[in-house]
Structures are given as C-alpha cells and as structure tokens.
C-alpha cells in the first residue's frame, strides 16, 4: 500500500479516505459508537475536552482494514455519542516516527492543544524486534491542524533508564500537577515484567526522568502499555494495559488485559503506592483505555472495543475494523471504582417497551426486537437456579447472558452469536437483596453489560445475522422480573 501512496502524509490519508469511504459495508457498522471513517482503528489517543468539544484521536491505518504504519485519526463530539470526523491529525512523515505515530495523549497549555505521542522507527530487517521508540510533540492553536515541533524527540532514547527496555518505551500520558507536567510511559524491565516510568517537565519540551513508579508483581504481564494516571475523588488511579497477563481465577482470560489500581502518587520520590489491582472490564474486548476530565468535573474513560491477535470479521470485504466502547463515567463508591454509561446516552432513547413484576418460569420471547438498543432489567432470583437473557436471537443464533444462583456466576457466552470469535467469560456477582441489576447496550456488533449499577462491566463484539433481532428472557425455576425497560438507541 505504501507504494500506492508514495509516502505517508495527512493529506494523502484524507484524500484516500474521501475517495474510498463509500465502499464500506454497513451491516456491522455501529450506530452509537465511534469507528474509523475507513480502514483500521485501535487505541484511543489524546482524549481531551478542548474548546467546548470532546476530542478523541485514535490509532489509525487509513489505507486498509489491517494494522499498518500508524496515523492519528481524529473526531470531535459535544455529547460523547455523536461524533464528527476531522482531518487526520498525525502521519508518520518524519525520521523519528517514520514507522508509525504510536499512542499518546493530549493536554491544553497556553490555550493551545499539545499532542504527545510515541515515534516508532524500525531499525533492522526484523520489524518485530529491531526498533526504537521516542516521545514527541505536536501542537495546534485551534485543535484541528497539528504541527510537529522542531525539538522532537522531546524524550529521546538517551533518557530511558538502563533498568528499562531500550525498545519498548511508549504511550505517554501527560498531566499537570502542582504547576509541573508529568508523563507516565509504558515499558518493561527486560525480564518479562511490565513497568511504568515517570518523567517531569516545566514546559512540555524539556524532560527529566524521575523514577520507575510501578511494576508487575510477576503475574501482571511482560510489558505494560497505555498507562493513565489521574485523580479521582481525592485518590490517585493508575491504569495500565498488561500484555500477555496470565489468567487468575475467572479474570484475565484475554490475550492482553487492562487493570486499575487505587493508590497515591508521590511525585517527589516517583512512586505509586497501591495495595491491589482490578480488571477494568470482565468481558472479551476492552483494551488501552484512556480517560479525560470534562468541564463538569467528570472522569470519562473510553477504550478500544477489540482484542489483539484475533481476526475481526469486518477486515475482509467491509473495509473497516475496530470501534470504541461507549464512554463510561468513573466514580469511587465504597472504596471501589464503578463504571456507568455517560448520562448523555439517555437523550438518544426512543420507543420504550416495558414489563413490571412478571413471574417467569421457562423461556419467553419479548414482544420487541432490535439490533441497537438499551435494555435495563432487574431480576429477583426468587426460587430460580439460573436465569437470564438471550439477545440477537434467530433460529440457532443467540448471545447468552445468564446468572447461576448457586455459585453467583454471571456468564457472557457468544458461542452461538454468529460469525467471528467465540467463547465465554464468567465473573462473580453477589446478589443485592436477592436482585441482579443489568443495564445492557447492544449496538449491531457489540454488547456492553453494566452489572449491579456499574460494579463490573463485560464487553464483547458479536457478529450475528441481520435477522437475529429477537430478545428472550428465561429462568430455570421461578424468578421475578421486577422491571424491564428496553429503548431503541438512534
């Protein structure tokens, strides 16, 4: 593909997208989640509230539906639901980023928007092992056209400590604290343990290494990517995406994972003090989350709604791949992080279907259908052994969400969800006053399950046939549907 475009520039990318986006197939395109306009999408980048808009950049290869030399796509939104595409923000057009503009973040300074990103350069014949990574800046007055600064790289290889990998050094998340700028950067210790490095600056351009602030305990993956560090309700939160993290009980069964840690950052000593870590999502497809604080003081997180190293059905013949999750507000409740859909999604509800106080035994098809909707349901377990929902049902196709009372396990199964990846994820969910509260968002090829008011979330991509629109409820033994509300989301 590079031969066709001769060299990678923003202008070439925008032209190619404009000439080819009409070729996209729409059957699995999401209605209320952000996707690329054309081509490949992965990690969210530069998530920021700037000049009355949410800006979300993303890892993007605009020429095919497969990963390639990374660009930064760009979209803006007033409400986090409906997005407007802007011109490609970054292309790999300099000697320090010629193999890709990898992930990074955004920050406002002096009324301008700065992007800090990883420049990736392949240095030898083995592209998977021969490379270097540096951190670079681009700046814009209005938040649309970005220019890379002459001083790049602002964090060169020479500022990598000898105790860290000299290759894996990426995904800077920049933030301000006590009048200084800091950046957390993902890496590893060369001994198969992920680590996070902290850097400090007075002006975003001149940086010094502070310390390694956190590392794997030996069970948290061999490399840490896409760090984020922020304050939430007077506590510090560190988010990382560990690669190749081994499973632990019912958790971390994906190839790569995401975790959050509640603690305290000591900026002087350069240490993050924490006691525990938790998955950010208990489903199949959630990676590289990034947060921003908006003008209401909310902490919003969004992630790539896919999984590395698994084939995506839309890559073949559809001309696009990848999507973002529904943005989620993060809060601390009873010393735990909870995740709730942003309130703005409620304004897109239409066509309410509802049930109240229904005693259920066996399986029942609801008198409503859909492929893009919100479903809020409260079950009372009553006498049931197992109960739940079947979504996108038609003939042998269904996506199963079920709860077993004897072991408190919620099951998300997509073995019969259509084409695409299969499998099952399980997570422990204690009932609350014998009740299970689910808020489920289905959007053509995605399912997001918010459990017990956001105590846990399970996310997964599904690819059912266009006729698979049915919604069923079921119970082995008697359970009670306290309430069920279903809205189309338009």
- Assigned token pair, 285: 């497809």
pLDDT exceeds cutoff 50 at 127: yes
Instruction: Tell me where in the chain the CATH 2.115.10.20 domain(s) lie.
Output: 2-341
Q: Of 81, 55, 68, 36, whose CA–CA distance to 323 is shortest? A: 36
pLDDT attached to residue 3 = 46
Count of Cβ atoms closer than 10 Å to residue 331 Cβ: 15
Rounded distance between C-alpha atoms, residue 79 and residue 15, angstroms:
28
pLDDT in tens, 319-349: 999 999 999 999 999 999 999 999 999 999 9
The single-letter DSSP state of residue 394 is E
Residue found under tokens 């035994």: 361
pLDDT attached to residue 169 = 98
- What is the pTM for the complete model shown? 0.97
Torsion 83-87-88-89 (CA) sign: negative
DSSP SS3 for 17:
helix
- Assigned token pair, 382: 């009553």
Residues 6+ apart with CB under 8 A from 472: 363, 364, 365, 366, 389, 390, 393, 398
pLDDT in tens, 420-432: 999 999 999 999 9
Residues 6+ apart with CB under 8 A from 20: 38, 319
Instruction: State percent of the chain over pLDDT 90.
Output: 98
pLDDT attached to residue 395 = 97
pLDDT attached to residue 88 = 98
Q: What is the CATH number of domain 347-489?
A: 2.60.120.560
Rounded distance between C-alpha atoms, residue 232 and residue 239, angstroms:
12
* 456 backbone φψ class: left, alpha, beta (φ>0; ψ -120 to 50): beta
5-17 per-residue burial string, b: 16 or more CB within 10 A, e: under 16: eeebebebbbebb
User: What are the residue numbers of the active site?
Assistant: 43
Instruction: Tell me where in the chain the CATH 2.60.120.560 domain(s) lie.
Output: 347-489
Q: What is the CATH number of domain 2-341?
A: 2.115.10.20
pLDDT in tens, 407-459: 999 999 999 999 999 999 999 999 999 999 999 999 999 999 999 999 999 99
Under a CB-based contact definition with an 8 Å cutoff, are residues 438 and 447 in contact?
no
Q: What is the mean pLDDT of residues 391-404?
A: 98
């Amino acid at each position: 593909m590079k031969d066709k475009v001769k060299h990678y520039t923003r202008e070439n990318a925008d032209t190619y997208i404009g000439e080819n986006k009409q070729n996209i197939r729409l059957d699995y395109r999401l209605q209320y989640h952000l996707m690329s306009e054309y081509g490949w999408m992965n990690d969210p980048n530069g998530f920021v509230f700037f000049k009355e808009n949410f800006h979300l950049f993303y890892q993007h290869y605009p020429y095919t539906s497969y990963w390639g030399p990374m660009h930064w796509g760009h979209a803006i939104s007033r409400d986090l639901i409906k997005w407007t595409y802007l011109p490609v923000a970054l292309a790999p057009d300099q000697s320090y980023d010629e193999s890709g503009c990898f992930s990074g973040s955004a920050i406002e300074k002096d009324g301008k928007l700065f992007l800090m990103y990883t420049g990736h350069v392949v240095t030898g014949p083995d592209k998977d092992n021969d490379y270097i990574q540096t951190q670079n800046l681009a700046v814009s007055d209005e938040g649309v056209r970005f220019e890379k600064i002459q001083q790049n790289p602002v964090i060169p290889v020479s500022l990598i400590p000898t105790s860290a990998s000299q290759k894996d050094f990426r995904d800077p998340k920049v933030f301000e604290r006590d009048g200084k700028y800091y950046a957390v950067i993902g890496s590893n210790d060369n001994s198969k343990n992920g680590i996070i490095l902290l850097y400090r600056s007075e002006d975003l351009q001149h940086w010094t290494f502070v310390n390694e602030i956190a590392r794997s305990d030996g069970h948290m993956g061999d490399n840490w990517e896409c760090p984020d560090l922020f304050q939430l309700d007077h506590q510090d939160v560190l988010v990382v995406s560990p690669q190749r993290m081994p499973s632990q009980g019912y958790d971390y069964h994906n190839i790569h994972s995401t975790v959050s840690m509640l603690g305290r950052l000591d900026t002087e000593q350069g240490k993050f003090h924490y006691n525990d870590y938790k998955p950010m999502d208990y489903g199949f497809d959630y990676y590289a989350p990034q947060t921003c604080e908006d003008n209401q003081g909310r902490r919003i997180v969004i992630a790539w709604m896919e999984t590395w190293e698994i084939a995506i059905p839309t890559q073949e013949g559809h001309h696009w791949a990848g999507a973002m999750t529904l943005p989620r507000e993060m809060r601390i409740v009873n010393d735990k992080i909870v995740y709730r859909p942003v309130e703005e999604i409620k304004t897109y509800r239409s066509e309410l279907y509802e049930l109240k106080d229904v005693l259920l035994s066996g399986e029942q098809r609801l008198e409503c259908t859909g492929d893009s909707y919100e479903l809020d349901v409260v079950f009372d377990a009553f006498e049931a052994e197992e109960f739940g929902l079947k979504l996108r049902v038609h003939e042998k196709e269904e996506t199963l969400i079920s709860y077993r009372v004897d072991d408190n396990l919620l099951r998300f199964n997509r073995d019969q969800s259509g084409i695409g990846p299969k499998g099952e994820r399980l997570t422990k969910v204690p009932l609350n006053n014998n009740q299970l509260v689910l808020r489920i968002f289905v959007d053509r090829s995605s399912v997001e399950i918010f459990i017990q008011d956001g105590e846990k979330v399970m996310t997964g991509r599904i690819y059912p046939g266009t006729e698979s629109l049915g919604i069923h409820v079921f119970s082995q033994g008697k359970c009670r549907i306290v309430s069920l509300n279903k809205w189309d989301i338009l």
